[in-house]
Structure 1
């Protein structure tokens, strides 16, 4: 245990040993149980293991129940007797203690009742009673003999408790924000829904800003295409913690509009994972941004948000990118659209000696509705790229590299690979 904790434990390890005699029932034979437990407290490590007759009890049983009962009882009594609780504060739970406890127990007895043939749990009533009293008595004595350690232990338990309660409160607030139908009483600002309720047809266009909202609204098919504008640049969800993420109204509004909840693993709030793909309100989630540096950044940040909060949407192929044209080429009364420098060059070669004009496309907010419908929204003529990572681990690595905290790694990547993207640099 000393090797495990090193210098990072709150208290030094202690070893308790004892022996008791009793029986599981009046009609059962009396037997002895030799009890031993080593424990210490840490704010960085957590480990609890129970052994009986030197065999590991993976599922615990009687020793596990005894440990929970004894530690909660003693620590709760100490907090009450020393006025550590705030007014009307609830009592500590086993989870609050478990998070900072390192304990290994090993008991021996001649009578053993296993829960089943796997022998991963014992059910001896007397072992539970004996161990509860054994641990309770030794912990009470330890607190009396080591008042400084006792203070450190209960303060850490209170920190765990209040962190858990704060996270639970946050979870309930998030759940409230993300749940419920979107109606007059529960409206998301500037969200434009479509008419059909058939989720197999519904599409949501996530666009940047109010100007794009107006243009897309005039261009869409209101029967099956909804719109959600993003106000400003979204938070980088790879760098931010969950508390900061869910304080962002933009993010909570987006997730509420999607309807499927979030996939979040928070140690203090084990049941926050409210994600349910069956509650997704859309068949296609389409990211639609300007074909410039700012537009690409907004698109990347939205993708990062989905990757962090609902990665299943990407894995299952619900997320798309709408390619918007970079150039308009007018020739002999016709208009052609090029989506890259390379595509523009090939089109100009194809036009030969004919007279033409080339204009860089305006932002989405300035596009003509007919042109927007033709190039970006008409299912028959638009270009959609499905975001479908084949290698989740590689995707995670690239996202972390480009948007995480590894500044040197990002510099090295640009130095080695930047030349590949020179044609995409916006120097206008």
Structure 2
């Protein structure tokens, strides 16, 4: 469990909060590229408690800036996107993608006044179909993180972003929880697979290593990107199943996968303290990804704002009959099952009332790292620097090997992921 003070430190991420200022020092996925059309409708986006507006101008450049016009506060969401700028509908003030005021029709005789006006804006990078932003001090801007899946062909990846109705920390903790798959995601019968992807939406095959038994051993290793979480379960009569989760500081993960399965990468970005943008990149190492099968497996139905239509409002479509005959939860879709578990904790769970066990080791380590880093950050220390040489080759894997082997012998950490004391303090 955490103290109430540490729980507050962990979960509050708005402007001026310690964790919020720490998170602003890392690159954040903000929108999918396809959401913005040149001279098209602007998009509202809330990140880390800030209300922002995004638009793509006539030349294809993207701007991400505060939503309110600096003149009288009217929302620029309703403005005109044309002529390489966004024009406020109220008095015609116009802004380019860098937040510069390019026209004030009512003040034509005073160019000095116009040059003094600037919207708060954030730099962006458009990579692999995602618009990323950095919200911290420009002089502290880190190198852009280059993840393994960014080097794969476009047809080998698919991307979703979803609005979840709870704090980021409990969503991310779910990703580091090996044991929940043996219950929450368990299908009662064998599920068909199609090239490593579940082709039904009931859950995970009961013979899968994640479901067959809760892992009998877990351990966590420090790395130069965060934490490597290892689990060992019974694979078959002669072999154990060795699995890993990678927690990449501060809000990225590679959840557990097994050899031959498509990979997953997640980012959990606070929309505000009470909601989260959950990003999911599915990727195949060596073939085009089966988009339809992945959507079916996850089971999400989203509206135009990326909010779920299967939600707490309709009890996630839970069927008590399905719970008896189909799967453990009675809920269809692996993502819906996860969301039901994390959102029904409440908007911000009170961790001072928890009773953690040995199966929660990865979660304990993740919290400890976040709290260590944010407390050091409060004292003026620089945050962890991600190692791009490691990120380029990093993804979660799983293997079968002799059950008499230690996990260190069967599934050792790769040399490029090992902590370098000169680069990172954990």
TM range (shorter): under 0.3
TM-score by length of 1: 0.25
**Whose strand fraction is larger, Structure 1's or Structure 2's?**
2
